[in-house]
Amino acid sequence: MTRAAIVGIGQTEFTDGSDPRSGLELAAEAIIAAADDAGIPVEDIDGIIKYTLDPSASLEMLSANLGLKEMTFFAETPIGGGANCTTMQIAAMAVEAGYAQYAVGFRAFTSLDYGEGLRRNPAWLWASEVGVKEVARIHGFGAISQSFALQATRHMYEFGTTEAQFGSLIQSATTYSANNPNALRKRRVTVDEYLDTPFVTSPLRDLDIFQPSSGACAVIVSTQERARDLRQKPVRILGAESGSADKVPPYWELWPLRRGDITNGAPMNIAPRLYARAGITPADVDVAELYDCFSFTVMMALEAYGFCEYGGSGPFIEAGNIAIDGVIPVNTHGGHLAEAYIHGYNHIVEAVRQIRGTSCNQVKDAEIALVTGGPGFASSAMLLSKDT
């Protein structure tokens, strides 16, 4: 277990991309809101952890605009939305080791991301330079949805997962989001309505794909001891882990070409370490905010993090187990599919609300929450709990 705690959360309004403000302004608003939430002056923030591919704001731009004093710790995470909990792992290590008192992690997402973010990824640069992308492009492969669709088709073949089971997942996400004032997709979609929509890239439909969004979230981490003197009830970081998968090609357009099973990946390696570090089992988890750039990644997480057997996520979802009164309520904010796509950071913010008892879809007596990152080449996950 770590001795670190989340002491403040902040976010902007989420929009469909119509927010005219720059990524820097969105990031700053979320960070200021997180400091206010914690009850600390903004200038007490002395550590920043950002995604390398977040083009919204640099360390020096944030420092200048927020009027920060000396920064004593700064770091960046690779990968993308897979590393949402890696930022929290780094923040926890930084405050425990005394390199920072208040470390903030954030993600500001704007339309700039789709072009500029990729240029910050050396794997993308390599793939473009040597012509790796061409071996996919000449076959009409050009969207990341296809990468997960190919894995999902194989999952259906191996385990008998059905379209209606994907629909159950969408019905669940939109049942939650219908009750969430921040959500972009506020209307509940039934399984039948889902099945009436066309495929985009089979087996994925439009409803299986994240909501294109603008917005930002920020999360401030400090030590458990310091947390107890602040405004909010501390949310303890029981454990945060990162990990890569075995034998995964180095670029997302190539992931489905890896040898062996392609129906899961890095989360299978991370889960046992995470539970061991936190000293708990999947049965102890009360609520799970599972990264859902595509519906299928929720299925991967349910299986990897031990809520159902390997391959069994479809029937598990269909039986109502991820609803608010189910075995493990999942994505109580609506997730990327129905709230907004802030690259895994809105999942962290929602998990903190669940532990504080302030979610719009509050799970009764929630004491332990799981947050996961996107399952690509590498991923991350985190367990949060009430102060103990």
Partner 1 sequence: MRTSLTPRVHPEFEGFWEGCRLGELRIQQCSDCREVRFPPQPLCPACRSSKRDWVAVEGTGTVYTYSINTGEGAAGAHLPGEHGFPYAVAVIELDSGPRMYSDFDTDDLQNLKIGARVSVVFEDIGGGIIGPNFVLTDPT
Burial of 360 per CB tally in 10 Å (0-12, 13-18, 19+): middle
Pick between residue 259 and residue 364 the one whose CB is nearest to partner 1.
259
Pick between residue 235 and residue 248 the one whose CB is nearest to partner 1.
248
**With CB under 8 A as the contact rule, which of the stretches 8-16, 19-27, 73-81, 126-134 interacts with partner 1?**
126-134
Select the residue interacting with partner 1 from 142, 160, 272, 320 (CB under 8 A): 142
Select the residue interacting with partner 1 from 78, 249, 282, 315 (CB under 8 A): 249
Which position among 194, 251, 341, 345 bears the catalytic label?
A: 341
291 is catalytic: yes
Kindly write down the DSSP assignment for every residue of 277-290, as one continuous string: HHT--GGG--EEE-
Binding to partner 1 (CB under 8 A) within 151-170 occurs at 151-154, 157
Q: What share of the chain is helix, strand, coil (3-state, %, to 5)?
A: 40, 20, 40
Output Rg (C-alpha) for the chain, integer angstroms: 19
Pick between residue 123 and residue 352 the one whose CB is nearest to partner 1.
123
Task: Return the structure tokens found at 263.
Answer: 């129906």
At position 321, the amino acid (one-letter code) is: N
Going by the DSSP 8-state scheme, the letter that residue 365 receives in this structure is T
Contact mark string toward partner 1, 293..332, x via CB under 8 A: ----------------------------------------
The least distance separating partner 1 from the CB of residue 376, rounded to whole angstroms, comes to: 16
At position 266, the amino acid (one-letter code) is: A
Select the residue interacting with partner 1 from 24, 132, 300, 317 (CB under 8 A): 132
The least distance separating partner 1 from the CB of residue 307, rounded to whole angstroms, comes to: 25
51 is catalytic: no
Select the residue interacting with partner 1 from 18, 70, 115, 247 (CB under 8 A): 247
**With CB under 8 A as the contact rule, which of the stretches 160-168, 218-226, 252-260, 354-362 interacts with partner 1?**
252-260
Task: Return the structure tokens found at 367.
Answer: 């004491």
Q: Are strands 199-201 and 215-223 parallel, antiparallel or unpaired?
A: unpaired
Pick between residue 50 and residue 343 the one whose CB is nearest to partner 1.
343
Pick from 187, 234, 236, 232: nearest CA to 207: 187
The Cα 320–Cα 131 span in angstroms is 45
Beta bridge partners of 189: none
The Cα 349–Cα 293 span in angstroms is 17
Task: Return the structure tokens found at 55.
Answer: 């083009």
Pick between residue 219 and residue 340 the one whose CB is nearest to partner 1.
340
Active-site residue numbers? 291, 341
Q: Where do contacts with partner 1 occur on this chain (CB under 8 A)?
A: 129-132, 134-146, 149-154, 157, 198-206, 209, 212, 247, 249-250, 254, 256-259, 262
